[in-house]
Amino acid sequence: MKTLLKTSGKWFKGNLHMHTLRSDGRIEPEEAIRLYREAGYDFIALTDHWVQSETEQRDDFLLLSGCEWDTGDMVNTPVFHIIGAGMERPVSLEVCHSHPVQKIIDAIRDANGIAILAHPAWSVTNPDDVLGLRGLSGVEIYNTVSGLPWNGQRADSSLYFDLWATKGKLFRSMAADDSHFYDGEHTRSYILVNAEELTAASIKKAIADGNFYASQGPRFESLETDGKVIQVRSSKVESIVFYSNSVWCRDRVFTGGVDRATYHIEPTDRYVRVELIDFEGNRAWSSPFAVHSDAAQ
């Protein structure tokens, strides 16, 4: 069996999207750091709008440099919000809300940061506008504050991953809180990164290598394939669900309290991704991975 998700290293829990009084968040940076640290997180990035924070190692807690840049006027040009995390120097972008989105991504990467597309569902992004972008390390499959009661119901961008993957573009799944209010949306949705150690270099390398998944609580224990089936082991959950470009197939849902499932890859499948849903409705999302392809991961 071939491993689709690395599980042999240590797991580190992080939120790479949140705001403070440095932009439109409601609390001081140190208070936000304290809330996440006390909730058991290992790393965060303070990503205030157009204000870049600095990387800082605090014993067993890591602050990655972060910022959120936006472009688009919502009428004539599409809206993109791009998160940068782990930059090693200031990103060179003058304040302007009409930069081409690729220019923002390139500027983040020029500063050795990782670039993430935030909340496509909230942004009402046309999925085709994303297909040609280069250099994204991940896309938010879930953004807590984009859901009720803080916004309309646009927290979940998972359908975008299926639209993209059906066209052959496999973006990696991330989840983040995008905390602003700290009245319940914080410490909910995160990534779990399988890395050697809790340093900026190790976390960034693990993210670049795809050694992470998105969660709100459920855990993947293993995710493997032999090319014919996909086997999942997880924490005890209500359901394990396999999504693919095949719009209908038997046995894609395993439910009723399960901690493992075996999915038989359909002849028409070109990619598969897996969601776990626990008894309270909390979810975990694997990234989509290619099947029936010489380039299968």
Q: Which residues of 175-212 are buried (b: 16+ CB within 10 A; e: fewer)?
A: bbbbbbebeebbbbbbbbbbbeebebebbbebbeebbb
Other beta carbons less than 10 A from residue 292's beta carbon: 14
One character per residue 107-146, x = contact with Zn ion (rule: CB under 5 A): -----------x----------------------------
- Minimum Å distance from CB 125 to Zn ion? 12
Give Cα 141 to chain centroid, integer Å: 6
Give the span between the Cα atoms of 275 and 267, in whole angstroms: 21
Which residue's structure tokens are 């014993």? 59
With CB atoms as reference, the residue minimizing the distance to Zn ion is 81
Task: Give the dihedral sign, CA 251/290/245/216.
Answer: positive
Q: Is 18 or 193 the residue whose CB approaches Zn ion more closely?
A: 18
Q: Is 118 or 136 the residue whose CB approaches Zn ion more closely?
A: 118
Per CB under 5 A, which of residues 176..215 are in contact with Zn ion? 178
* DSSP letter (8 states) at residue 67: E
One character per residue 152-181, x = contact with Zn ion (rule: CB under 5 A): --------------------------x---
Q: What backbone torsions phi and psi does residue 229 show, to the nearest 5 degrees?
A: -130, 160
Q: Is 81 or 204 the residue whose CB approaches Zn ion more closely?
A: 81
Give the span between the Cα atoms of 254 and 232, in whole angstroms: 11
The residue count for the chain = 297
Q: Is 45 or 291 the residue whose CB approaches Zn ion more closely?
A: 45
Rule CB under 5 A: is residue 46 a binding residue for Zn ion?
Answer: no
- Minimum Å distance from CB 178 to Zn ion? 4
Q: Is 108 or 265 the residue whose CB approaches Zn ion more closely?
A: 108
- Binding residue for Zn ion, selected from 4, 48, 79, 81, defined by CB under 5 A: 81
Interface positions with Zn ion (CB under 5 A): 68, 81, 118, 178
